[in-house]
Structure 1
Amino acid sequence: MHTMKRWNVDILLSEEAEGDSARTWAEVGLESHDGAGLRGHGMARKHPTDDDVPEIGDELAVSRALADLSRQLRQAAAEDISEHTGTPWPR
């Protein structure tokens, strides 16, 4: 039997600049087929002496948000494994 599933990740970016500094926030969301969801968050900061390249802040903030989401997904899997086997899964 072959099963295919699609999981969609939604990414929201927000930027705030003040003078020579800037911050970018990212939120990534993953919703499962049963309606449960996880949200990861990340932030990047531009140093006042850095060149103004907003794409770099986007990339860093999104990568950090995805890493946060990944950690949460691993935690959910570990809890599911423990629940179904009665044995804690080493994280």
Structure 2
Amino acid sequence: MSTSKRWNVEVLVDEEAGRTYAEACLQSGADTRLVGVGRAKLHPSDRDIPEIGDELAAARALCDLGQRLLLAAAGDIQAVTHEPVHLAR
């Protein structure tokens, strides 16, 4: 029997004075909530295009979330197997 699940990731972006902050939040179960964080900073010689800062900060937050999810999975596997776990990226 096949089981489908839907996990939603909410990305929150805040920008102020050339600095952009993003959080990627995953709620995958009743007790499982993971948050990845990303930042971007406008270089003084660059044109201020807020969308680019948003994209960079959001991408970094999603990468951070992915790493945290891998670590959570490794911890869960280790709890079951009682063996050290090393997951490749």
Structure 1 residue ranges (4+ consecutive) displaced by more than 6 angstroms after TM superposition:
none
Q: Identity of paired residues, percent?
A: 53
* Structure 2 residue 86 is the aligned partner of structure 1 residue 85: no
Q: Which residue of 2 aligns with 1:32?
A: 28
Matched residue, 1:15? 15
> 1:32 and 1:7 mapped to 2: Cα distance?
6
Distance of 1:58 and 1:78 partners within structure 2: 30
Structure 2 gaps, min length 5:
none
Which residue in the other structure is 1:43 paired with? Answer: 39
Deviation, 1:65, is 0.5
**TM-score of the pair, normalised by structure 2:** 0.92
Structure 1, unaligned stretches of length 5 or more?
Answer: none
Secondary structure at the counterpart of residue 59 of structure 1: helix
The separation in 2 between residues aligned to 1:33 and 1:87, in whole angstroms, is 25
The aligned counterpart of 1:72 is: 68
Aligned length: 87
TM-score of the two chains, using structure 1 as the length reference: 0.90
